[in-house]
Chains A and B, each alone.
Chain A
Amino acid sequence: MSGAKKLGLKQRYAHMTRGLDWETTYQPMDKVFPYDRFEGIKIKDWSAWEDPFRLTMDTYWKFQAEKERKLYAVLDSFAQNNGQTGVSDGRYINVLKLFLTGISPEEYQAHRGFAFAGRHLRGVGPRVAAQMQSLDELRHVQTQIHTISHYNKYFDGLSEFRHMHDRVWYLSVPKSFFDDARTAGPFEFMIAIGFAFEYLLTNLLFVPFMSGAAYNGDMSTVTFGFSAQSDESRHMTLGIEVIKFLLEQHPDNLPIVQKWVDKWFWRGHRVLGLVAMMMDYMLPKKVMSWKEAWEIYFTEAGGSLFTDLARYGLKVPKYADVATAEAEHISHQNWAIFYQYTHAAGFHTWMPDAEHLDWLSAKYPDTFDKYYRPRWELWAKLEKEGKRFYNNALPQLCQCCQIPMGYTEPGDPTTIAFRSSTYKDQKYHFCSDGCKDIFDNEPDKFVQAWLPVHQIFQGNCGGATVPDVLAWYRMNVGADNMDYVGSPDEALWNEWHAEKLRKAV
């Protein structure tokens, strides 16, 4: 035996991963890795990559198999015991509808995107980490489908989640977000999804849904959440390692990375508006307000993150102050949009009851009573008079985030914000300076956007009338859409509830 020393854990792991890789000579490396140069990111030394976690496949299989055994045991038991009858209220299921139609398909996109990064980043360290995340993301989409599958057996609005995701107007908001990331280069993908989404914003997306499930008696979804927690923390450590690595490698990377951080923060903030609405309006038992969540998870946690990253020259994302100011408004403005367009939404809407209104007043003391309560009270009154308000015109959409242009001017919550840019003699419209900037930086990309309203007007969505379009969405009119009150979901929930009370006597 030679006199070589036994390996430490770090060197052992290096042999298990980066030792496997080699510089190709029969084919040029630039042909084997054709996509990791065009973004302008400079990597001097891939071997400086610090593995954020040291998982070999055997350990991965063992941990993940153990978690899956436990998760599926809970799902089976939940189904056997009709756990769906034990949630806080029938309204809660609408949270799952939003999640399955809007979020789970993006887990899938993340799966394929991390496979792209896991093949096409030249450095073997990040490639192995990205491959494991690709596996994890496939896990998440599949376990979410399996978790919510049981609810689909009883409730409407879930059955056509895949068909709807590629077509329905508001689902183009998360879809275009992920299409944008998937079609970017591998480094931008890692910053967009690995850092901005999985690190910076995950506590405002994943955590609210899972905490909402816990507070509302959804034991199957919360079990999924607990089961995915250790995956998510791996994803977070990968996200932070990626950004530090890029910034450490070359000073020329800083402006590129800063632009991506600005872009993906704002893109993420717009998608999170759906979560804001969910937290403030859709959870029968509230966890906390969106504003509180934003303060804890972005202002405080994000603040210390960017203090930490300041040594690389990275600044707090542009328009973070605007996003923080919007935390007072965004949930209310989004719920107003969905209430008006309830006939074209794949989940139910409702006006908050008195107790809920008071909760909102308490959580938003500076804005709710002044700007939003009067509107809700008027709409509730109209409902009572049989004149429920529907908006029958199709809204103008933001060319970037694709949300209807319903957001207000910073500092002026009674004026709708409009921005526009002219590119190659065409005028494009935006909801905000953040979205306009993103377009102006990449106009050739964003002019391509598949804007649902434009597509309807162009005749690409099943026909010229609302019923034509809803049929094309496969929306089961009167069951999937419209208000919760009067819906088959409500009737079923009330029937179960009455049944339970009767049996209890």
Chain B
Amino acid sequence: MTIQIKTLDFEPKRQTFGHVARRLGGDKPATRYQEGTFDIQPTHNFHYKPLWEPDLWQYDVRKTAVVMEDWYKPLDPRQYYYATYNIARANMNQAVDRNFVFVEERGLLTKLSDTGRAGIQRGLLPMRHLHWGANMNMTEICQRGYGTAVTGPCIFSAGDHLGMAQIISRIGLALDGQTGTSLDAAKVVWLQDPAWQGVRQLIEDSFVERDWFQLYVAQTIGINAVLFPLVYRLAEPAWAESVLTVAMLTEFMNDWQAEETRWSDSVVRTVAAESGANRALVSQWAAHWIDRAVVSGRTLSAALLCDEGKAADTAGETARTRARALGLAI
């Protein structure tokens, strides 16, 4: 049996906005992702050249060397717009909160051995600075990039990195009894410990990269793909008896990376596939930044794991294999 509620019928005049319909190849119902993304960045008839970069417009395809016939080709396979992004992250974060309660109730981090505490302080906590650097880069790509298809998800990614930097900070606070001493100590490590200086130099060098798509490749294909798996997975032995605790508290990072990579890989694949020239440039950038990430990661992994940098090489090989799968010549 079915029941049917009788309603007035109103025939729509059109299904979606004109610019969306032209992209869909006709007036068809569009998704909220499509309506919230397609063409919403201004493209024509700008009034004034920026005081801070007077040779280019504020939105200008010339801010990267790669050329796209249409910057709305590299779409987000997750189809994130603001609402779906925040709802997804709020859901992921529920697990984070539960894990922190679990760890804190049992004192899993306060009862650590000195070796365990020192390992986390030196090996894990400085990652919050690397996330903050990644946040700066994704924010830069958002402001400097072209087309909402790419720049929109970049501000989401920037928010993610700030969020992950804050999760690491909470781990530090759980470790030091909410006093902040471990975070202060880890900052000294970040600034001075030779183990981290290659990584710090790498991220600082990326801050001055002016080509926004090269920066995108540096951050996602280089730094994220090599250094995050290195610290969040391969460096586990360095956490001594708290391997499981750290795994629980950094679950967000691993889930996040699996998800973000779906998007960032898809963007890189699409841009590289546009032309031989793009492919050559992106390949060269990817090779360069993966190499740099591996070199900086070797010092770190040697210091944390006494493995002469092997873990970084392993992470680098995985990153290169993945980059090749995206159509890059490496």
State which of A26-34, A301-309, A365-373 sits at the interface with chain B. A26-34
Cβ contact within 8 Å between B166 and A499? no
Cβ contact within 8 Å between B51 and A184? yes
Cβ contact within 8 Å between B183 and A449? no
Mark interface residues in B177-214 (1 if CB within 8 Å of A CB, else 0): 11111011001001100000000110011011000000
Cβ contact within 8 Å between A496 and B46? no
Cβ contact within 8 Å between A61 and B51? no
Q: A7-B178, A179-B46 are in contact. Are A15 and B169 (CB under 8 A)?
A: yes
Residues from chain B with a CB closer than 8 A to the CB of A184 are 51
Per a CB cutoff under 8 Å, which of A128, A159, A165, A500 touches B42? A165
User: Closest CB of chain A to B13's CB: distance in Å?
Assistant: 6
Q: Which residue of A lies closest to B154 (CB)?
A: A115
A445 touches B (CB below 8 Å): yes
Residues from chain A with a CB closer than 8 A to the CB of B128 are 20
Mark interface residues in A181-204 (1 if CB within 8 Å of B CB, else 0): 011110000000000000000000
Interface of A is mostly: helix
In the complex, A203 Cα to B129 Cα: how many Å?
Answer: 39
In the complex, A343 Cα to B170 Cα: how many Å?
Answer: 60
In the complex, A467 Cα to B234 Cα: how many Å?
Answer: 66
Residues from chain A with a CB closer than 8 A to the CB of B166 are 16, 56-58
A108 touches B (CB below 8 Å): yes
In the complex, A19 Cα to B166 Cα: how many Å?
Answer: 10
Cβ contact within 8 Å between B86 and A141? no
Cβ contact within 8 Å between B179 and A58? no
The 3 A-B residue pairs with the shortest CB-CB distance in the complex, in nearest-first order: A57-B163, A65-B90, A4-B179
In the complex, A456 Cα to B39 Cα: how many Å?
Answer: 24
Cβ contact within 8 Å between A119 and B13? no
Give the interface centre of A135, A156, A185 by most chain B CB atoms within 10 Å.
Answer: A135
Q: A7-B178, A16-B169, A119-B140 are in contact. Are A183 and B48 (CB under 8 A)?
A: yes
Mark interface residues in B66-109 (1 if CB within 8 Å of A CB, else 0): 00000000000000011100110111010011000000000000
In the complex, A445 Cα to B49 Cα: how many Å?
Answer: 8
State which of A142-150, A242-250, A329-337, A416-424 sits at the interface with chain B. A142-150
B173 touches A (CB below 8 Å): yes
Q: Which residue of A lies closest to B168 (CB)?
A: A20
A44 touches B (CB below 8 Å): no
Q: A16-B169, A448-B48 are in contact. Are A32 and B204 (CB under 8 A)?
A: yes
In the complex, A454 Cα to B136 Cα: how many Å?
Answer: 40
Cβ contact within 8 Å between B96 and A162? no
Per a CB cutoff under 8 Å, which of B40, B49, B187, B201 touches A26? B201
Per a CB cutoff under 8 Å, which of B165, B173, B205 touches A7? B173
Cβ contact within 8 Å between A152 and B139? no
Cβ contact within 8 Å between B82 and A2? no
User: Closest CB of chain A to B293's CB: distance in Å?
Assistant: 15
Q: A22-B129, A141-B40, A146-B36 are in contact. Are A160 and B18 (CB under 8 A)?
A: yes
Q: Can you add 12 more A-B contacts, CB < 8 Å, to A7-B180, A161-B17, A499-B8?
A: A16-B169, A20-B165, A27-B205, A64-B82, A65-B86, A111-B155, A152-B16, A153-B12, A162-B17, A183-B49, A185-B52, A450-B47
Residues from chain A with a CB closer than 8 A to the CB of B46 are 179, 450
Residues from chain B with a CB closer than 8 A to the CB of A289 are none
8 sampled A-B residue pairs with Cβ under 8 A: A72-B83, A108-B42, A112-B59, A135-B159, A152-B17, A175-B45, A449-B48, A450-B46
User: Closest CB of chain A to B51's CB: distance in Å?
Assistant: 6
Q: Which residue of B lies closest to A448 (CB)?
A: B48
In the complex, A66 Cα to B87 Cα: how many Å?
Answer: 8
Q: Which residue of B lies closest to A3 (CB)?
A: B179
Interface residues of A in 59-109 (CB under 8 A from B): 60-62, 64-66, 68-69, 71-72, 82, 85, 105, 108-109
In the complex, A331 Cα to B48 Cα: how many Å?
Answer: 28
B64 touches A (CB below 8 Å): no
Interface residues of A in 464-505 (CB under 8 A from B): 474, 492, 496, 499-500, 503
Q: A22-B129, A175-B42 are in contact. Are A69 and B18 (CB under 8 A)?
A: no
Cβ contact within 8 Å between B49 and A12? no
Interface residues of B in 230-244 (CB under 8 A from A): none
